[in-house]
Every structure is written in C-alpha cells, then in structure tokens.
Chains A and B, each alone.
Chain A
Amino acid sequence: MIEVKDLHKAFGDVRAVNGVSFQARDGEITGLLGPNGAGKTTTLRMLYTLMQPDSGQVLVDGIDASVDPLAVRRQLGVLPDARGLYKRLTASENIDYFARLHGMPEALLATRRKALIAALEMDDIADRRTEGFSQGQRVKTAIARALVHDPRNVLLDEPTNGLDVMATRAMRRFMRQLKDEGRCVLFSSHIMQEVAALCDRIVVIAHGRVVADETPDALREQTGEANLEDAFVKIIGTDEGLAA
C-alpha cells in the first residue's frame, strides 16, 4: 500500500512535481500515466527515497519515508529508470549482490533467486556475464534483482521501455502475476494501451499535477469518450508526448 500526499519538488525554477497525491492499493496494478517530462520519474524517485520532496508526504505500508527511509526501502522492490547492471558479474551474481545488501540469509537467497529466474524465464542467461545482454535480458535481470527480497510493493519505472513485442507480453504477464500474489504494483508509462490493458487504476499526471485518478471505465465515463486514447487526450489537453 503506497500513499502519496501533496508531493512537491522543484529543480531551480522548474516545478517538476507540483502537488501529486494518489494511492496504490495492494492486489492492484496502478498505472502512472503521463507524457514525457510530466514528472513521473521524479515522483517515483521520491517514493523510493532517492530524492527528498520539498513538501508532502510518502507513506509505504504506513511508514513515513521522511522518517525512516531505510524501512521504506525494505518494503519496496524498485526497477528504476536507470537499469545499470554490473557487466563483469553474471546475472545470478547481480541478483545475489542485492539480496545480500538486503541482509537475506544465503539459503533463502538461493530459493528466491531460483524462483525468480524461473518466473522470468531467464534460465539460459542466469550464469552469463551481463555484458552484451539484450535490452529484454537486462530488464529481466534488473527486475529479478529488484524483487529478490520479496517486497510487498513493487515500483516499475517504464518497465516495457525498449522491449520487443514478445518481451513486452512476458513483462505484462509477470506484472499480473505480481498482482495475483497480492502485491501493490505501481508502474509508470507513457504508453496508453499498456496502461489500459493492465491497470486497475490509472493516475494521469501532466505538468507535475494529477489530472485524473480513476478506474479505466470511470475515465471513459467521466470524459464521455468511449475510446481511452481520446479520453486521455481530452484530460491532458494535448496529445504531445504520449504514445498510442
């Protein structure tokens, strides 16, 4: 369960995030939709405590991120915008490194790693060094690394960015699986179809503000448009920076 209350963040004169509030519930997929530069990544970065908000509050499972950032990070599995893997380590070693940083015991670590490698269908690359991995293989490894500690809440920044059709489908399947396991899944995207196909709830962000926070059906109703794409364009006021 993630609660965001009235977040603000400015870089110099640029107000990147200007009053964002929403909730992401357990057992649901919440999509953060917005054009490029709308403030999605900055919002997520404040969620996983990489950045301090200028004002506002972030609660993860009831823990205030500004009070105990380490505890918040323990509750989160994060696929940041930056996927950087350690290219001189194998995929498994990359996963193990983060597991150990979480302080996981070795036995549990091995079980979790194996389970994730199976779930993400990455047996063939598990023992290869990550140098020269394809975009899809990199994302899989980064996700396994982010989820090895079995977090209740999962944050994914543009998880399908740069993936081909097959990899994208696999990723969506995996996200539904996370939801079925009862986790709180929050992901950002600028791709409308993806959000429409996956989300239980859509938070639309434009110019650093939340302009809509509804279920997909409610969004269509609210705007009077049968087509989600038209509904989004109507909400945001422009189709700039969005992809179909």
Chain B
Amino acid sequence: MSPAFVVFLKEVRENLRDRRTLINALITGPLLGPVMFIMLMNVMVNRELAKADKPIAVPVIGAELAPNLIGALKSAGIDALPALPDPEAAVHDQRTDIVIRIAPDYAEAWNKGQAVQVELIYDSSRRDASTPVQRVRSVVESYGRREGAMRLIARGLAPITAWPVQVADRDQATSQSRSALMFSFLPYFFVLTVFLGGMYLAIDLTAGERERQSLEPLFVNPVARWKILAGKLAAICSFSTVSLLLSVAAFATAPLFIPTEKLGIALDLGFRFAAHVVLLMLPLIVLLAALQSLVAAFAKSYREAQTYQSILMIIPVLPSALLSVIPVKAESWMYAVPLLGQNLGIVQLLRGDGVTGEQVMLCLAGGFAAAAIAVVATAYLYRSERLAISG
C-alpha cells in the first residue's frame, strides 16, 4: 500500500467516527441548499399565486361618480371598498396597497366626452404591492381603451385610427430561462456544499492534528510530506464529493416540492443536469480542499482555523453576487475563471441551453490549473519546519 493511500484510509476511517464532521458532510452541507431553495420557492410561488388569483378589495374615493368603471373593476375581481379619509397616509402606513381616487368632476366631464382623471395612489418602493397595482392599472386602462373605441365607433371612425402603432410582444424567454432568473443563486449552493463538506476535515487534518500534537510524530515516519498531504487532500476531496453528490440528488427531487406548473416555468434538475454540475464542479473540489488546507496550515489552533475558514467562505459568494448586480454577457474567457466559470455554466444549464464542449473544457482547464497552484502552495507550506511543531 502506498503511504498516501494509508493516510487516506486512516483519515477517512477516523473522520467517519466524528459526528460533527459527518453531520456537516452528509446532512448540513448537502441538504441546506435544497431545503432553503424549496422553502424560498414555495413562499415566493404561493405569495405570487395568492395575489394573482384572489379577489382584492381596494378603497375607492368617489365610487358613486363612476358606476361603470366600478363594475368593470368588480368583474375583474377587484372590489371597491368605502373611501378612506387620508389615502396618502394610508398607503404610507401600509394599511392598504393602493387607493383609487376618482376626480369629483368625473361624471360631468365624462358626459361632455372630455378626458377624465383616475388617480392611483400607491408606493412603488413596496415590492409586494406591485401585483395589485398592476392589476388595477391594467383594468382601468383597458376600460378606458374600450370606452374610447366605443366613442370612435359612435362617430363613425374605425378604432384603429387612434392607435396607429400596435405593440406586439414576442417574448423569446422559454419557460426554463424564466425560471433560471429566479434560480441564479443556485450555483452558490453547490459551491457551499462542497465547501462545508470538506471544511471540518481540512481543519482537523492540519490545524487539528497540529493542536493535538500528532503532526510531529506523523512526520517522523519515513514518508515524504507531500505524500502525507496527498492522502489528506484525497480524504477531504472524497468527503466533499459525497456532499456534492448528495446535494445534486436532493436538488433533483426539488421540483416535486415546488408547484412549478402554476408559475408556467419548467425546472429540469434531472440526471443530465446533475451529471453536468458534478463535472463542472470537479476542479473546485480539489481547489477548495487545497485552499482550506492551506488556510488551516497557517492557523495555530482549531479555533483559529475555523475563523480563517469562515473568511474563505466569502470568496465563493463573489461571482454569484457580482453576476446578480452586474449582468454581464458571458465571454468565453470567463469560463476559465474558477468559480465564475462554474457559475455561468450552471446558470446556463438551468436555462436549458446546455454547455458546449469548449465551455466545459475551459471550465475544467482553468479550475484544475488553479487547483494545481493551490496544491503546490500547500505542499510548499507543508515542508516548513514550523508546521510540525505545536509548542
């Protein structure tokens, strides 16, 4: 048996006996993402659905002036409530999402065939109010258009005279690409899973071993240090790989728990998606294992290593955060940037576009190159005299 393999077997066996590592690698890491994802999606979907279907009631000022408009609103599921004394304050205090105010001269102007004003009082900075506001606006506007068309017809004109330009929507979004917008944070969950899966192992195998003073006896064995490191990295990688596999498996079941059909979006997280994600993530598994070991090797104690790890954990967020703030058009070099490439690739898979062979190659090449650098840097650090000495 090669010494690296001996180290690998021992680390795996020892850590299988550690409950904290196991819980992190097999439960928290892989399930955190899918569970949060399913919960968030359900909350979001249910809120949207509730607003779109349910009849809403809106306070109307001057309802008696425009019975036909009120009738149109009612037939669209919008009931008129009695007027409020101070509508601006009511919207500001979030007592109501929107208030309709019909001008006092509405009936008079209407009968003369003049333009009339209907005010919608709302707060556009309140996102949850946007659905009712849109519903009211579209009902009022379509009522206006319908009445306008009637007037033109009454004067013997074709209604199109007033609307020479017609806008026709040709939305190219597929139901999958629409869903991808909502799921753009998904890649981060996969990275996080890999990170959590290997984290405790990385701390334990370097800083932990140093703190327990077992690194010095270990290094006294006639085994080159890089072989010891290779065995340890292999152990970290296998734990984080198991985490990732569990995580994609859990994500594959996510569509069962999300009422996607009600949203009119498709979510394909099946085998093809899972296989691609695992392939794209392979270099990150090695890269993160090496980075975690590197950071842990700097620390003098377990606790110190934990602090460093949590700082390191912020780095994988950056590409996801960056992409959501600055939507960039993907250039091919971006695929070679570790983390960014994975992020782009996974979002693309979610959109149902798939990834090209070239993009996969760039992703793997860039990722493995970075991983190799991190491994060499860690191996270099492992050679230092100070590493072994605990006191």
Contacts and interface: CB of A to CB of B under 8 A. Distances in A.
A145 B216 CA distance: 13
B213 A101 contact: no
Interface string A78-96: 1011111111110001000
A50 B391 CA distance: 14
A71 B222 CA distance: 7
Interface stretch (B1-9, B28-36, B61-69, B135-143): B1-9
B223 interface: yes
Contacts of B220: 48, 50, 73, 76, 78, 80, 146
B45 interface: no
A50 B222 contact: no
Contact of A97 (B6, B18, B209, B222): B6
B206 to A, nearest CB: 13
Contact of B213 (A74, A83, A93): A83
Contacts of B391: 81-82
A51 interface: yes
Interface in A36-70: 45, 48, 50-52, 70
B331 interface: no
Contacts of A87: 212
Nearest to B211: A84
A78 B17 CA distance: 28
B215 interface: yes
A70 B217 contact: no
A32 interface: no
Contact of A82 (B1, B10, B216): B216
Interface residues of B, number: 29
Contacts of B221: 73, 98, 101-102
Identify the interface centre among B18, B215, B218: most chain A CB within 10 Å of its CB.
Answer: B218
Contacts of B93: none
Interface in A70-128: 70-71, 73-74, 76, 78, 80-89, 93, 97-98, 100-103
Contact of A80 (B1, B17, B216): B216
Nearest to A105: B1
A142 interface: yes
B14 A50 contact: no
A148 to B, nearest CB: 10
B240 to A, nearest CB: 20
B14 A88 contact: yes
Interface in B234-276: none
A84 to B, nearest CB: 3
Nearest to B16: A88
B86 interface: no
Interface string B315-354: 0000000000000000000000000000000000000000
A82 B215 CA distance: 8
A81 B222 contact: no
Nearest to A69: B222
B1 A100 contact: yes
A45 to B, nearest CB: 8
A81 B15 CA distance: 25
Given A50-B385, A52-B385, A88-B17, A101 B219 contact: no
Contacts of B223: 70, 101
B84 interface: no
Contact of B216 (A52, A81, A98): A81
A74 B388 CA distance: 18
B14 A100 contact: no
Given A74-B222, A84-B209, A103 B216 contact: no
Contacts of B17: 88
Given A71-B222, A88-B14, A100-B1, A83 B217 contact: yes
A102 B390 contact: no
14 contacts: A50-B389, A70-B223, A73-B221, A80-B220, A82-B213, A82-B217, A82-B390, A82-B391, A84-B217, A97-B10, A98-B221, A100-B6, A101-B7, A103-B1
Given A80-B220, A97-B6, 4 more contacts: A88-B15, A89-B13, A101-B7, A142-B217
Interface of B: 1, 3, 6-7, 10, 13-15, 17-18, 209, 212-224, 385, 388-391
